[in-house]
Chains A and B, each alone.
Chain A
Amino acid sequence: MLNTLWFILIAVLYIGFFVLEGFDFGVGTLLPFLSRDKDPQKVDRKRRLLINTIGPHWDGNEVWLLTAGGATFAAFPEWYATMFSGFYLALFLLLLMLIVRGVAFEFRSKDYNPRWRALWDWCIFLGSAISPVLIGVAFANILRGVPINAQGQYVGGFFNLLNPYALLAGVTTLMVFVFYGAIFISLKTAGEMVEKARATAQKLWVVVVMLLFALGIYTLIETDAISRLGINPGIVPLASIAVIVAAGYFVRKNRLGWAFSLTALGIVLALATMFMILYPNVMVSSISPANNLTIENAASTPYTLTVMTIVALIFTPIVLFYQIWSYRVFRKRLTLDSHLEY
Chain B
Amino acid sequence: MDALVLARLQFAITTIYHFFFVPLTLGLSILVALMQTLHYTTGREVYKQMTKFWGKLFVINFAMGVVTGIVQEFQFGMNWSEFSRFVGDVFGVPLAIEALLAFFLESTFLGIWIFGWDKLSKKMHLAAIWLVAIGANISALWILIANSFMQEPVGYVIRNGRAEMDNFLALILNPNIFVQFPHVILSGFVTATFFIMGISAYHLLRKSNTEVFKRSFQMGAIIGIIAVVMLIFNGHSQAQHVAESQPMKLASSEALWETEDPASFSLFTIGSLDQTQEIFSIRIPAVLSFMAFNNWTGEVKGLNQLQAEFQSQFGPGDYVPNLVITYWSFRGMVGLGFVMLGLAVYALFISLAEMFEKPPRAIKLFLWAIPLPYLANSFGWLLTEVGRYPWLVYGLMKLEQGLSTVVAGWQVLITLLGFTLIYGALMVADIYLLTKYARQAPPPLEPGVEGQPEPTAGESLPSLVGAQN
Residues of A within 8 A of B (CB): 52, 55-60, 62-63, 66-67, 69-71, 73-75, 77-78, 80-86, 88-89, 91-92, 95-96, 98-100, 102-103, 105-107, 110-111, 153-155, 300-301, 303-304, 307-308, 311-312, 315-316, 319, 322-323, 326, 329-330, 332, 339, 342
* B267 CB, min distance to chain A CBs, angstroms: 43
Q: Is the CB of B77 within 8 A of A81?
A: yes
Contact string against A for B residues 91-124, beta-carbon threshold 8 Å, 1 for contact and 0 otherwise: 1110111111101110111111011111110000
* List of A residues within 8 angstroms of B76 by Cβ: 73, 84
Residues of B within 8 A of A102 (CB): 63, 66-67, 70
A231 to B79, CA, bound (A): 34
Closest Cβ of chain B: how far from A333's Cβ, in Å? 13
The answer to whether A307 and B93 touch (CB under 8 A), given A73-B77, A153-B405, is yes
Whether B325 sits at the interface, judged by CB under 8 Å, is no
Count, chain B residues at interface, CB 8 A: 69
Interface centre among B66, B87, B117, B433 (most CB of A within 10 A): B66
Bound complex: CA of A158 vs CA of B60, how far in Å? 35
Does B92 lie within 8 Å of A99, measured CB to CB?
A: no
B140: min CB distance to chain A, Å: 15
Residue of A nearest to B131 (CB): A322
- A316 in contact with B100 given A81-B77, A322-B108, A326-B112 (CB within 8 Å): yes
Contact in complex: A91, B81 (CB < 8 Å): no
Residue from the set A69, A85, A107 with the largest chain B CB neighbour count within 10 Å: A85
In the complex, are the beta carbons of B89 and A66 less than 8 A apart? no
Measuring CB to CB, which residues of chain B are less than 8 angstroms from any residue of chain A? 59-60, 62-64, 66-68, 70-71, 73-74, 76-79, 81-82, 84-85, 87-93, 95-101, 103-105, 107-112, 114-120, 162, 164-166, 168, 404-407, 411, 414-415, 418, 422, 426, 429, 433, 436-437
Smallest beta-carbon distance A66→chain B, Å: 5
The docked-state distance in angstroms from the alpha carbon of A95 to that of B74 is: 9
- Decide: A303 and B166 in contact? CB cutoff 8 A: yes
Cβ-defined contact, A70 with B111, below 8 A:
no
Q: In the bound complex, how far is the Cα of B118 from the Cα of A339, in angstroms?
A: 9
Query: Chain A residues with Cβ under 8 A from B95's Cβ?
Result: 70, 73-74
A99 & B68 in contact (Cβ 8 Å cutoff): yes
Q: Which residues of B contact A339 (CB under 8 A)?
A: 118
CB-nearest residue of chain A to B110: A59
Interface of B is mostly: helix
| Minimum CB–CB distance for B65 against chain A, Å | 10
Separation of A52 and B114 alpha carbons in the complex (Å): 11
Residues on B with C-beta less than 8 A from A332 are: 119
Contact between chains at B429 and A107 (CB < 8 Å): yes
Q: Are B99 and A70 in contact (CB under 8 A)?
A: yes
Question: In the bound complex, do residue A92 and residue B414 qualify as a contact, i.e. CB atoms below 8 Å apart?
Answer: yes
Residues of A within 8 A of B68 (CB): 99
Residues of B within 8 A of A304 (CB): 89-90, 92-93, 164-165
Contacts of B92 on A, CB cut-off 8 Å? 70, 73-75, 77, 80, 300, 304
Decide: A106 near B60, CB < 8 A? Known: A67-B104, A300-B89, A308-B96: yes
If the complex has contacts A59-B66, A85-B81, A303-B165, are A103 and B107 also in contact, measured as CB distance less than 8 A? no
Closest to B89 in A: A300
Q: Known A85-B407, A95-B71; judge A329-B116 contact (CB<8 A).
A: yes
Q: Can you list 16 contacts pairing A with B, beta carbon distance less than 8 Å?
A: A63-B108, A73-B91, A77-B87, A81-B81, A81-B84, A81-B85, A85-B406, A88-B411, A89-B414, A99-B71, A100-B422, A103-B67, A308-B93, A315-B100, A315-B101, A323-B104
Partner of A311, one of B67, B97, B414: B97
The distance in angstroms between the C-alpha atoms of A81 and B87, with both chains bound, is 11
Q: How far is the CA of A77 from the CA of B83 in the complex (A)?
A: 10
**Bound-state Cα–Cα, A322 to B116, Å:** 14
The answer to whether B89 and A103 have CB atoms under 8 Å apart is: no
Q: Compute how far the CA of A92 lies from the CA of B404 in the bound complex, rounded to whole angstroms.
A: 15
Q: B111 contacts A84, CB within 8 Å?
A: no
In angstroms, how far is the closest chain A Cβ from the Cβ of B325?
A: 27
A103 to B429 Cα, complex, angstroms: 10
Q: In the complex the two chains form, what is the Cα distance from A143 to B386 in whole Å? A: 40
Q: How far is the CA of A290 from the CA of B406 in the complex (A)?
A: 20
B60:A96 contact, CB within 8 angstroms: no
Are B81 and A98 closer than 8 Å at their CB atoms?
Answer: no
Q: A85-B406, A153-B406, A323-B104 are in contact. Are A56 and B88 (CB under 8 A)?
A: no
Is A106's CB under 8 angstroms from B73's CB?
no
Across-interface contacts of B165 in A (CB, < 8 A): 300-301, 303-304, 307
A55 CA / B107 CA spacing, docked (Å): 11
- A69 and B73 contact, CB distance less than 8 A: yes
Chain B residue with the shortest CB-CB distance to A342: B114
Whether B70 contacts A98 by the Cβ 8 Å rule is yes
Report how far A171 CA is from B111 CA in the complex, Å: 30
Residues of B within 8 A of A300 (CB): 88-89, 92, 164-165
CB distance from B76 to the nearest CB of A (A): 7
| A60 in contact with B107 (CB, 8 Å) | yes
- Kindly list chain B residues whose C-beta atoms are within 8 Å of the C-beta of A307: 93, 165, 168
Which 6 interchain pairs have the tightest Cβ spacing?
A77-B88, A84-B77, A74-B92, A73-B92, A85-B81, A56-B111
* A70 in contact with B100 (CB, 8 Å): yes
Contact, CB under 8 Å: B100 / A82: no
A residues less than 8 Å from B109 (CB atoms): 322, 326
- Checking A56, A80, A111, A323 against B114 with a beta-carbon cut-off of 8 angstroms, the contacting residue is A56
Bound CA span A151–B358, Å: 71
Question: Looking at the complex, which one of B64, B90, B436 makes contact with A111 (CB distance below 8 Å)?
Answer: B436
Q: Could you say which residues of chain B place their CB within 8 Å of the CB of A81?
A: 77, 81-82, 84-85, 88, 404
- Say whether A74 contacts B74, CB under 8 Å: no
Do A52 and B115 touch across chains, with their CB atoms under 8 A apart? yes
- A319:B97 contact, CB within 8 angstroms: no
Q: With A63-B104, A70-B100, A329-B120 in contact, do A55 and B93 touch (Cβ < 8 Å)?
A: no
In the assembled complex, the Cα of A62 lies from the Cα of B99 at a distance in Å of 11
Q: Which residues of A have CB within 8 Å of B114?
A: 55-56, 342
With a cutoff of 8 Å between Cβ atoms, the chain B residues found around residue A322 in the complex are 104-105, 108-109
Contact, CB under 8 Å: A319 / B100: yes
Residue among B62, B68, B415 having the largest count of chain A Cβ atoms under 10 Å: B415
State the Cβ distance, A85 to closest chain B Cβ, in Å. Answer: 4
- Expressed in whole angstroms, the minimum distance between the Cβ of B37 and any Cβ of chain A is 20
Q: Shortest distance in angstroms between B396's beta carbon and chain A's nearest beta carbon?
A: 15
Interface pair A106/B84, CB less than 8 Å apart = no
Partner of A80, one of B77, B168, B405, B433: B77
Q: Which residues of A contact B162 (CB under 8 A)?
A: 77
Q: Is the CB of B77 within 8 A of A106?
A: no
B88 touches A103 (CB 8 A): no
Q: Are B422 and A326 neighbours in the complex by a CB distance under 8 Å?
A: no
Whether A154 lies near B406 (C-beta < 8 A) is yes
Residue of A55, A70, A316 contacting most chain B CB atoms (<10 Å): A70
